[in-house]
Structure 1
Amino acid sequence: MSEKIEVGVIGLGKFGLELAITLRKLGHSVTGIDSSEERVKAAKPYLAQVFEADGTDPQTLEQLSFQDFNYVVVSTGDSMEASILVVLNLQEIGVNKIWVKAISEAHKKVLSKMGVDFVVFPEHFAAKQLAHKLATPGMVEYLSMGQDILIKEREAADWAGKTLIDLNLTNNYQVQVIAIRKAGSDDLDFVPKANDPLDKSDVLIMIGQRENLLKLPD
């Protein structure tokens, strides 16, 4: 497992709570706060450290040692003003790494100008994921890397008996096979051997630009 980190999560709505729970499952330490008693109660079964507190109060953040965490994630619902105030307070008490959920493009722009380390716009990202999934058969995931980088699945089918060396997908299509999944299995063989013949039912997991993935024969 990677090195254990300590993360503070301010705002335990759907996004914040899901993030906190996932981090805990990955073995990391999470402290969550929210001003809503109901949300705090909902989080208690999943988080060892959860408090009903106001994230816009710098003294509260300091008392809960947010300045000592490796990362602090701000997910304060629909209030752009509250989010910005929380970020200012975190910067004031010396938090090193601040990640923030944006609620609009304007919010994202302001946060970037404030020097926030990472800004995520979940609705925007989810919309792109869905659009690419609808438009690209076999797409597994859209990666936001400044270009339309996708991960796509394809059964070996007519490639059966050939090796990755034979297919030469990197040079022919500028596409890279990053894993292979055998039929009936959920396990992935990452960085597969290039000289092993493919079975007809093998599923190739490939990464590349959308336009290149679409050039692959069906």
Structure 2
Amino acid sequence: MSKRIEVGIVGLGKFGFSLGEALAELGHDVVGVDMDGGRVRHAQEKLTQVFQADGTDKKALEQLGFKDFDYVVVSIGRSMEASILVALNLQDLGVDNIWVKAVSPEHEKVLKRLGVDFVVFPEQFVARQLAHRLAVPGLLDYLALGEGVLVREVVVEKWSGKTLRELQLPASRRAQVVAWKRVGERRFSFVPSADEPLNKGDVLVVLGDAEDVIKVTG
């Protein structure tokens, strides 16, 4: 596992709770805050610590040690005003990394003006993931980096007998092979050899610019 981190989450609705649960399952410490007693009880068995408190109360966040966490995620329903207030309070407390769920483009614009470290639209992100999975055969993941990065499986056909060095994918296709599974094998090998010939039916995991990776055929 990577370095254990401490994450505070303000707002334990669907997104906040799911994020906290996933982080806890990865072995990280997660402290959640929500005003709703039902949400607090629901999260108690999953997160490291959960408190029923007003996330817009700067003093409460300070007393709960939020200024010392590696990251704090703000996930407050659909209240843009409350979300912005929490972000401002966290900045006043000196929190190093503040991530905020946005509810509208206007909300995102304000958060970026405030200098929030990372802003996310969960619905938009999931919609893009699904759109790419539907449209691109073999797609494993869509990474929202810049204009978008794809991770896609490509089955070797016409590249049979060639090596990755000969193919020169980084130069010719702006793509990089990050894993390789030979025919008949169950597991992928990572950081594949550049000089080993490919065989028909081998599976390559290719990462790169979305527009280029979509066009890659093996």
TM-score normalized by structure 1? 0.90
Q: Which residue of 1 aligns with 2:109?
A: 109
- Higher mean C-alpha displacement, 61-70 vs 160-169: 160-169
Task: Confirm whether residue 50 of structure 1 aligns to residue 50 of structure 2.
Answer: yes
Q: Which residue of 2 aligns with 1:173?
A: 173
Letter paired with 2:120: V
SS in 2 for 1:95: coil
The separation in 1 between residues aligned to 2:85 and 2:50, in whole angstroms, is 21
Structure 1 position 145, deviation (Å): 1.9
The separation in 2 between residues aligned to 1:183 and 1:81, in whole angstroms, is 55
The separation in 2 between residues aligned to 1:217 and 1:96, in whole angstroms, is 43
Q: Which residue of 2 aligns with 1:92?
A: 92
The separation in 2 between residues aligned to 1:67 and 1:53, in whole angstroms, is 16
* Unpaired stretches in structure 1, ≥5 consecutive residues: none
Structure 1 position 32, deviation (Å): 0.7
The separation in 2 between residues aligned to 1:89 and 1:167, in whole angstroms, is 53
Structure 1 position 185, deviation (Å): 6.1
Q: Which residue of 2 aligns with 1:35?
A: 35
Structure 1 position 182, deviation (Å): 4.3
The separation in 1 between residues aligned to 2:40 and 2:182, in whole angstroms, is 43
SS in 2 for 1:157: coil
RMSD: 2.0
1:47-78 Cα deviation digits (max 9, x unpaired)? 12111111011121111111111111100111
Q: Which residue of 1 aligns with 2:8?
A: 8
Q: Which residue of 2 aligns with 1:128?
A: 128
SS in 1 for 2:9: strand
Q: Is the 8 A contact 2:24 2:48 kept in 1?
A: no
SS in 2 for 1:153: strand
Change (3 A) 1:125 1:197: same
Change (3 A) 1:172 1:95: closer
The separation in 2 between residues aligned to 1:150 and 1:11, in whole angstroms, is 31
Q: Is the 8 A contact 2:154 2:217 kept in 1?
A: no
Q: Which residue of 2 aligns with 1:59?
A: 59
The separation in 2 between residues aligned to 1:210 and 1:135, in whole angstroms, is 12
Change (3 A) 1:50 1:135: same
SS in 1 for 2:115: coil
1:114-170 Cα deviation digits (max 9, x unpaired)? 111111111122222222223322222222222232111111234333321233322
SS in 1 for 2:215: coil
Structure 1 position 2, deviation (Å): 2.6
Letter paired with 2:53: A
1:102-122 Cα deviation digits (max 9, x unpaired)? 111111101111111111111
The separation in 2 between residues aligned to 1:158 and 1:38, in whole angstroms, is 58
Correspondence list, 1:153-192, <5 A: 153-182=153-182, 187-192=187-192
- Higher mean C-alpha displacement, 32-41 vs 137-146: 137-146
SS in 2 for 1:103: coil
Q: Is the 8 A contact 2:72 2:98 kept in 1?
A: yes
The separation in 2 between residues aligned to 1:31 and 1:169, in whole angstroms, is 44
TM-score normalized by structure 2? 0.90
- Higher mean C-alpha displacement, 162-171 vs 90-99: 162-171
